[in-house]
Chain A
Amino acid sequence: MSSALVISQLLNGLQLGVILFLVAAGLTLVFGVMDFINLAHGVQYMLGAYLVATLVAWTGHFGLGLLLGLAAALALGFAMEFLVFRHLTRRDHLDQVLGTFGVILVVTEAVRMIFGPAPLALPTPAVFSGSIALFEGFNYPTWRLVILAVGLGVALLLWYLVNRTRMGMLVRAGSTHPATVSALGVDIDRLFLCVFAFGAMLAGLAGAMAGPLVSVEPTMGDRIVIIAFVVVVVGGTGSIKGAFVAAMLIGMVDTLGRAFVPDLLRAFLGRSAAATAGPALSSMLIYLLMAAVLSVRPSGLFGRRAS
């Protein structure tokens, strides 16, 4: 196989990784600050894509639509926290799983009623719609490079926010010593509100960035949130660094698995057996990875030690 193919698969893996990171970042922060399991995080991803698609169509300009869409996603994050999520923060995990599962059903169905079941169009901005030659004879879709750049930019920004600002310090402290943070007179509920809304916006950004690549439809968040949870758990809850490492790892494993597992299997099995067993095995890889990581480190790669 050519080196161009390998390089493009590596880039594909990175690009899936940054999308997963954008979704997982909010999830892991919310968990870190308030020990909160939000199954409905995928809904924010879907809403982000819907808001941006609608506003891009309305304004006729991708950049403007994206900005307005993100503002709307942030506002929705605040609203949802106010309406539902803040009432669940001090409940046990079971209530949180149940409540947020209910939110998935409500929002998904509401979006279906408002926008209809048909997928929405979110065209790639014209400047980025083609592909560019990275080197002689090797083209790569421009939009995927944009996703990569935006994702890495957000990762840097998050690193700065978490490690260099007062807010970030509180978030870090909140995830390791919640009692101390409260004792210091910090309003942990307000901290949660901000983190939650910010996480919702990041998920919305991920949805908007993925929109031109995937079909924007009501259940688009369903699968991504499960993988994002795998990322959070493999990385260790509450750890941004963990989420980043795990997202890259899982993006790579998933993409490279899909690209090369069927070929590898072909060496052992027949052509047709490999062609059908390959996809099953490659879909399973990330879960195998997760089981392997947790069997060695029950709290994930960068997680707190189990109590």
Chain B
Amino acid sequence: MLVPKKILLGALALLASTAMAAADPVKIGFLSTLSGPAAPLGVHMRDGFMLAVKELGGKLGGQPTEIIVVDDEQKPDVAVNKVKALLDRDQVDVVAGTVFSNVLMAVSKPVLENETFLISANAGPSPLAGKGCSPFFFSASYQNDQVHSVMGQFAQDKGFKRVVLLTPNYQAGKDAMAGFKRHFKGEVVEEIFTPLGQLDFSAELAKIAALKPDAVFTFMPGGMGVNLVKQYRQAGLADTIPFLSGFTVDETTLPATQDAAVGLLAGAEWAPNIDTPENKAFVAAYEKEYGAVPSLYAAQGYDAAKLIDGALKTTGGKVADKAAFRKALASAPFTSVRGAFAFNTNGFPIQDFYVVKAVKRPDGKFATEVAGKVFVKAADAYVGECPIK
């Protein structure tokens, strides 16, 4: 029973390569984290993207469009294999998605070497913004450091003197601390690193309670953030020590933390209550479609689809002329749900950043709300290192 399977495989490969020439829809590979503890983030991102595709009648730029959604399982090696299949077997025109920076860094090599367009709907690692920037890469989200810098600037503005930093022990965690410290000039009393995926924060919280800082800054994505928020509230710290965060308090974790997170702060470039017609329509449509409040991952996914749509409209549905398609993308031909949006020379956005606060809405659902604008039309810190001018 296995022999035919192998032969079948070869035959399928043959079939696929001949079928390719016949029909010619725009093909987009969408890479997201759909299983494992971080799946809620990836699901939001995919749902946001697919909502936009649905609103456009399944056609991006008016072209027949095929979206191939694949799960990277948050594992770089799995992601590379699946992306190679997208490039080679499916011959996609654009690869979009990527929740995590390590996955994006792993797939960026094969995608960009293949001169295929890569559009991140979340991850924004510094190498791709600086020395490793590429004309084929665009970010519909932010550069990783920026969200943390927002909290650093906020802590500085608030006059906090002593702050404890708490992040997982990996590159993104270290980047978060560096990002926070860029604008914060007070004293960092303690930098606490925890193993990735840690369940229990009792030891760290006891330490924080003993140090009595003016504020805590943390970056705990996914389930870790849920654990931390619940335990922070229980330890009685939520009412006494301000909780500043990046990617910890958002609409993917609020359904689990609920009241425990109310009043906690986060940095973001988007919130559901940003007052533009596009955003209101997006949030209403998302809530109607999926029965949940969208998160920034959903908003970025939505924007990524609108960006591709706008660029295809500009080029008349053609991706083959790569210079033209690149030029179309770079002009950011769409109205972002977050308001003002333009691309810098490295393919990263120039946009506003906010401090957002978790609230319980009158309808009983939990969401984040803009509590103040911190940066206006901000560029990232690495654009100077990018050789593309």
Contact = CB atoms under 8 A, between A and B. Distances in A.
Interface of A: 1-2, 4-5, 8-9, 12, 15-16, 112, 116-121, 123-124, 129-131, 139, 141-144, 210, 212-217, 219-220, 223-224, 255-256, 258-259, 262, 275-276, 278-280, 282-283
A124 B223 CA distance: 17
Given A4-B210, A141-B235, A213-B227, A255 B203 contact: yes
A152 B281 CA distance: 54
A212 B236 contact: no
B256 A213 contact: no
Contacts, number: 131
Contact of A8 (B194, B206, B227): B206
Chain B interface, DSSP helix/strand/loop, else mixed? helix
Contacts of B231: 141, 213
Contacts of A8: 202, 206, 209
Interface in B30-86: 34-37, 39-40, 43
Contact of B236 (A139, A210, A275, A278): A139
A215 B258 CA distance: 12
B124 to A, nearest CB: 23
A117 B39 contact: yes
A258 B230 contact: no
Contacts of B236: 130-131, 139, 141
B369 to A, nearest CB: 20
A38 to B, nearest CB: 21
B257 interface: yes
B340 to A, nearest CB: 31
Contacts of A130: 234, 236
Contact of B200 (A117, A124, A213, A283): A213
A131 B203 contact: no
A118 B257 contact: no
Nearest to A10: B206
Nearest to A279: B169
B227 A212 contact: no
B207 interface: yes
Nearest to B191: A275
A170 to B, nearest CB: 35
B242 to A, nearest CB: 18
B203 A258 contact: yes
Contacts of B36: 219
A12 B234 CA distance: 13
B234 A16 contact: no
Nearest to A284: B195
B336 interface: no
Interface in B248-292: 252-253, 255-260, 292
Nearest 3 A-B pairs (CB), nearest first?
Answer: A117-B39, A215-B226, A12-B202
A174 B233 CA distance: 46
A215 B206 contact: no
A24 to B, nearest CB: 16
Contacts of A256: 203
Contact of A224 (B169, B198, B199, B226): B199
Given A112-B39, A223-B199, A279-B195, A5 B206 contact: yes
A117 B230 contact: no
A48 to B, nearest CB: 15
A118 B207 contact: no
B202 A15 contact: yes
B253 A259 contact: no
A97 B256 CA distance: 33
B113 to A, nearest CB: 32
B316 interface: no
Nearest to A227: B199
20 contacts: A4-B210, A5-B207, A5-B210, A8-B202, A112-B35, A117-B34, A119-B223, A119-B256, A129-B233, A131-B235, A213-B200, A215-B226, A215-B253, A216-B256, A219-B36, A255-B203, A262-B193, A275-B191, A276-B193, A283-B195
A118 B202 contact: no
B204 interface: yes
